[in-house]
Chains A and B, each alone.
Chain A
Amino acid sequence: MKRQLDGFIYIGLGISLLLALFLSPFASPHPDGLEKVAEKKGFLEKGESWKIWKFAPLPDYAIPWIKNEKLSTALSAFVGTLAIFFIVLGLGRLMRRRGRVT
């Protein structure tokens, strides 16, 4: 059972990483639903006036020092997908451990 689950995790993660790496550069570049509405209804600039968090390592899903846009998007998607997996794994372990005697 344990082994089967491991298999599913690897396959699932593998599919996610492949999607991130190979499809994200070809995603639609159009603004999303909210951005489009903001643009049409004239309140988009309100969101661009200031930003409180300026330390995002990969702003707008791009690696700042990679000039090739498609490569930059693909790699940031890959890094993000892998990072999310390990962050949830870490946080999940913390959540599980707290208050549980094992």
Chain B
Amino acid sequence: MHIPDGFLSNSVNAVTFVISAGACTYGVRRVNRNFGEREVPLMGVTAAFIFAAQMLNFPVAGGTSGHFLGAVFSSVLLGPWAGLIIMTIVLMVQCLGFADGGLTAIGSNIFNMGVIGALGGYSIFIFLYTLFQKSLKGFFTALAISSWFSVVMGATAASIELAISGTSPLKVALSAMAGVHAIIGVGESIITTTAVSLILKTRPDLVTCYVKKEVFHEKTA
């Protein structure tokens, strides 16, 4: 879903850049306020995993491939603002180091995969998780649904940007992008739930969103 240079108009890139920069500035402040010695290496290893996993394209229908995004994954582990920062750093390294995603489109890519993917995906997660009354089953159901949405919503945002830029009419871009990403999103759900369940089994204290309740009780007890 990395948009290269030349797909989007300057005004679209400028607007998304301003929104993404604003979100990241606030995100850095939030991370700065909450994170200490312990969380920084966790951010590093989460970002490294996301980078590696994003390279493992899996085939989907019709000669197309898809890959892991990791926006909901990182948000559920470390909180949505850290998730946004992690996605932003991964995208910037991919752009500057590997020529994946255009430099002029960096704001749009951060917007689609970070702001929409991490913050948007996390909002859906926390809404569903609360709706399911924070049960273990509810946790994984919310995780699966929200990670699917993070990919499809990111693709939808990309289609809207393509349409506003005059690259492809909205109807055409939206149906094609949402269609293929609805399948890629299933892969996203499977990888996210598998990875999180493995971490939850071995180190439940590292899944910020899941343990919040229990940690709270421990601390107040």
- Please report A residues at the B interface, Cβ cutoff 8 Å: 4-6, 8-9, 12-13, 15-17, 19-20, 23-24, 27-34, 36-38, 40-41, 43, 46-53, 55-61, 73, 76-77, 80-89, 91-93, 95-96, 98-100
Interface string of B128-140 (1 = CB under 8 A from A): 0000000000000
Query: Quick one: which of A15, A20, A53 has the most chain B CB within 10 A?
Result: A53
Interface centre among A48, A76, A77, A87 (most CB of B within 10 A): A87
In the complex, how many residue pairs between chain A and chain B have their CB atoms under 8 Å apart? 212
Number of interface residues of B (CB under 8 A): 69
Whether A47 contacts B5 by the Cβ 8 Å rule is: yes
A88 touches B98 (CB 8 A): no
Beta-carbon contact of A33 and B184 below 8 Å: yes
Contact yes or no, B31 A95, CB < 8 A = yes
**Of the candidates B47, B100, B180, which one forms a contact with A85 in the assembled complex, judged by CB atoms under 8 Å apart?**
B47
A28 touching B65 in the complex, CB below 8 Å, given contacts A13-B48, A38-B7, A93-B40: yes
Contact B89 A88, beta carbon cutoff 8 Å: yes
For this complex, 8 residue pairs linking A to B, each with C-beta atoms less than 8 Å apart, are: A19-B56, A20-B51, A27-B56, A30-B59, A34-B155, A34-B158, A48-B6, A81-B52
State the majority secondary structure of interface residues on B: helix
Is B155's CB under 8 angstroms from A81's CB? Answer: no
Contacts of A37 in B (CB 8 A): 168, 173, 176-177, 180
- Give min CB distance, B159 to chain A, whole Å: 8
Question: Is A56 in contact with B96, judged by CB distance below 8 angstroms?
Answer: yes
Contact of A53 among B60, B90, B95 (CB under 8 A): B95
The residues of A that contact B28 with a CB separation of less than 8 Å are: 95
| 18 additional A-B residue pairs with CB within 8 Å, beyond A8-B206, A76-B98, A92-B39 | A9-B45, A12-B48, A15-B49, A28-B59, A30-B59, A30-B64, A31-B63, A34-B3, A46-B6, A56-B96, A56-B97, A58-B98, A61-B55, A80-B93, A87-B93, A92-B40, A92-B44, A95-B31
Could you tell me the distance in whole angstroms from the C-beta of A47 to the nearest C-beta in chain B?
Answer: 4
Using a CB–CB distance below 8 Å, which chain B residues touch chain A?
Answer: 1-7, 28, 31-32, 35-49, 51-53, 55-60, 62-67, 85-86, 89-90, 93, 95-100, 102-104, 155, 158, 162, 167-168, 172-173, 176-177, 180-181, 184, 202-203, 206
